[in-house]
Amino acid sequence: MNALLEIGVEHLPARFMEPALKQLETLAASLLAEKRITYGAIHSFGTYRRLLVEIVDIADKSADVQKEVKGPPAKLLKDANGNFTPQSAGFAQKNGIAPEKLTIVETDKGPFIYAKVKIKGEKTVKLLPEIFTRLVTGLEFAKNMVWEESGLRYGRPIRSLIGLYGEKVIKFTVAGVQSNRNTYPLSSFGRKPIKVAKADKAYYAELLRNQPQPILVLPEERREALIKTVSAEAKSRGYQADLDENLINETVWFTEHPVAVGGDFEIKFLTLPKELITTVLKKQIKMFPVMNQKGELQPYFIAVRDGISVNQNEVRDGFKKVMSARLADAVFFFENDKKDGLDVFKEKLKTIQFLEGLGSMYEKSSRTQALALWLCEKTGKSALKETVSYAASHAYADLASHVVYEFPELQGYMGGQYAALEGHKDAAKALEEFYFPLTSTSQLPSDEAGLLVSLAGKIDTLVGNFIIGQIPTGSEDPFALRRQAFGAVRILLEKGLPVSLKDLVEKSAALYPAGTVDKGLKELPGFLFQRLALVLEQRGHDVHTLEAISNWYELPLTQVEALVSALEAVKTGAEFTAVLEAAKRVCNILKKADAVTNQVNESLFETTAEKALFATVQQVTKAVAGFSPLTAKKEDFLKVLKTFDAFKAPLETFFKDVMVNVDNAALKANRLALLGQVRRLLTQTVADITRL
């Protein structure tokens, strides 16, 4: 048999829906486990006006359970005459068993009396009122309302409740609303109840789908219908809809039966930048833009209304009025911005704070400019200095514009638009893509100047936040520093920039005013390491290999990835594995030594094994002489790692024939010095192979 709960509410915001439905499933599973009731599956579904959960194949009673209850100390079981004491007899009576069934159990605090109690299961129908009540009241929302005497805090007022067990109504009351079997049609079609006969998701969905005004209660069905109706409306005009994934998801949760309503707007609005128009449509008024086959924006919109009606023309006119008013506002903001220009906005940055204690956004712009110009020098891009200088110094200017104030998501993009209008076309792309990548895996800035400016801005933001101790913890990251770090790492790695994170961070920190109190900059390398590990993992590498590269922070990330690839290529080879194990043994011996000198005295060698190992040290030292990891490629790292194979035989012989910790202090020190040179080669030349 199935159970079904419906919570009928006033219009819930779209953003509340998915978390609420997930909570319903999690909470239902927890309550059923608590009550020892087995079931087949739990399904949540619904719309902005009805939250539902179906429990499939729910058992008709809770499971029996046996438990041991601890009682008085064992000495109180019986008195001197062999009779049960009042304490043990009372304990037995309290737990519903005869005193003769009491047992003695040894514990860490001595022997105690225990009662083995069998708790019989209860019928599910008796437990469901409590389960349903706790399911309703247990939901948490981002914001709550209080609307009735009991003071229940909820996302929106509860207006109806359905509780069914098979065909039986489960009676319970929450916030003054008593459960029954009635649900209701779309809000604009009256309040005549729809009676739900049984607890079955498929039946319920079909019942509402077949109403005079259909309701698509299944989110996946609503999504399919939405895409179909919007696409068909665009196709009827010979175009295609911009089926933005975020807008689709949001629309699914603010409709019960999505119906497309198409309309047009004045061509004059197309003089606005494309992203400004689409942002107004998607973000402000939840409409789908329309494109031609080339992806060019057309003077049409597709709105979505809830439900079918005969007055579509009036609805279309209403949508058009709203849209025209919003676009007219955008024109007003845009035209005013053009009169001011980026230089005016840049000056206004002096009144906008960056971070408390770290000055204004104007000062941040100056630091970003200085760091970007330094990057030009470090990366051999001096020819880009003029473009980079302008782009970096104006990168944050559009934050003071009217358009970005109204539409913060257009920061960067509008800066690029204004730069192009003012004749700075070389810098326009860099400004437009300044905040790229927008996610950990999305597009990087597409031109060289943009890469350097974007990287400089990200590093300055990271350094500033860490200097004042504003470091992400757990899920808290209000300034999106993880995304900034991902972006910086990806730019350095994917674009092969020959500069290390250490040099970047140190240069950036030096640009902050003297006397700035550093509260947490030492935490930044570890934070960047975590992002680098994740990026390398996304690129198909074993992240544990990165742990062997102790100097990763001082290397260009292209070299770090090349070394990771080289280590992955050799670490499972038989020769290398043998050297790796021997290297670990060398490190363990040296770890226990008081002091290790760097100087080896050949005259103190007593065995052939010592001489052979020293000869190998000299051979490998000569082979890696002049090697620099700063510019090495994978094949260069592989070549060095292959030279380590030479240590296999001499180390095996050394450990077999030579005693290191001998009584002769000079001999012992010389042998430790020899192993010290082996350790230096195997752990410092390219990587610490003992950490693989």
Mind listing the pLDDT tens digit for each residue in 268-293? 999 999 999 999 999 999 999 999 99
- Distance CA(350)–CA(449), nearest Å, equals 25
Q: Are residues 377 and 458 in the same domain?
A: yes
Q: Are residues 464 and 354 in the same domain?
A: yes
In a domain? residue 548: no
173 pairs with which residues across the strands? Answer: 178
Q: Reply yes or no on whether the pLDDT at 475 is more than 90.
A: no
- Distance CA(527)–CA(466), nearest Å, equals 10
CA of residue 332 relative to chain centroid, distance: 38
- The radius of gyration of the chain from alpha carbons, rounded to an integer in Å, stands at 36
In a domain? residue 77: yes
Check which CATH number belongs to the domain holding 595 and give it.
1.10.730.10
pLDDT in tens, 32-65: 999 999 999 999 999 999 999 999 999 999 999 8
Q: Are residues 616 and 659 in the same domain?
A: yes
- Distance CA(207)–CA(4), nearest Å, equals 14
The arithmetic mean of pLDDT across residues 534-539, rounded, is: 96
Coil/strand/helix, residue 520: coil
Strands 288-291 and 158-165: unpaired
Share of the chain above pLDDT 90, in %: 93
Q: Are residues 165 and 230 in the same domain?
A: no
Helices (H), 551-647: 557-570, 574-591, 608-624, 634-643
Q: Are residues 387 and 445 in the same domain?
A: yes
- Distance CA(615)–CA(631), nearest Å, equals 29
In a domain? residue 630: yes
In a domain? residue 678: yes
Q: Reply yes or no on whether the pLDDT at 309 is more than 90.
A: no
Q: What is the dihedral of CA 60, 63, 64, 68, to 10 degrees?
A: -160
Q: How many CB atoms lie within 10 A of CB 453?
A: 34
As for how many domains the chain has, the answer is 5
- Distance CA(561)–CA(132), nearest Å, equals 54
Structure tokens at 481: 């520093």
Considering 340, 370, 389, which residue would you say is the last residue of a domain? 340
Coil/strand/helix, residue 305: strand
Structure tokens at 639: 């070549």
Q: Reply yes or no on whether the pLDDT at 620 is more than 90.
A: yes
Contact by Cβ (8 Å): 189, 215: no
- Residue type at 567 in one-letter notation: L
> 89-98, 270-279, 307-316: which range is least confident on average?
307-316
pLDDT at 190: 66
The arithmetic mean of pLDDT across residues 424-433, rounded, is: 97
Q: Are residues 626 and 652 in the same domain?
A: yes
Q: Are residues 241 and 285 in the same domain?
A: yes
* Per-chain mean pLDDT for the chain: 95
In a domain? residue 545: no
Considering 78, 93, 119, which residue would you say is the last residue of a domain? 119
Contact by Cβ (8 Å): 679, 615: no
pLDDT at 469: 95
pLDDT at 688: 96
Q: Are residues 12 and 108 in the same domain?
A: no
- Distance CA(78)–CA(80), nearest Å, equals 7
pLDDT in tens, 188-220: 656 789 999 999 999 999 999 999 999 999 999
pLDDT in tens, 335-384: 999 999 999 999 999 999 999 999 999 999 999 999 999 999 999 999 99
Q: Are residues 110 and 147 in the same domain?
A: no
Q: Are residues 461 and 474 in the same domain?
A: yes
Considering 340, 357, 382, which residue would you say is the last residue of a domain? 340
Q: Reply yes or no on whether the pLDDT at 495 is more than 70.
A: yes
Q: Are residues 524 and 644 in the same domain?
A: no
pLDDT at 188: 60
In a domain? residue 455: yes
Q: Reply yes or no on whether the pLDDT at 157 is more than 80.
A: yes
Coil/strand/helix, residue 456: helix
pLDDT at 684: 95
In a domain? residue 549: no
Residue numbers of the domain that contains 293: 219-340
In a domain? residue 154: yes
Whole-number Cα distances in Å, 625 to 531, 552, 619, 629, 643: 33, 20, 10, 12, 12
Q: Are residues 82 and 138 in the same domain?
A: no
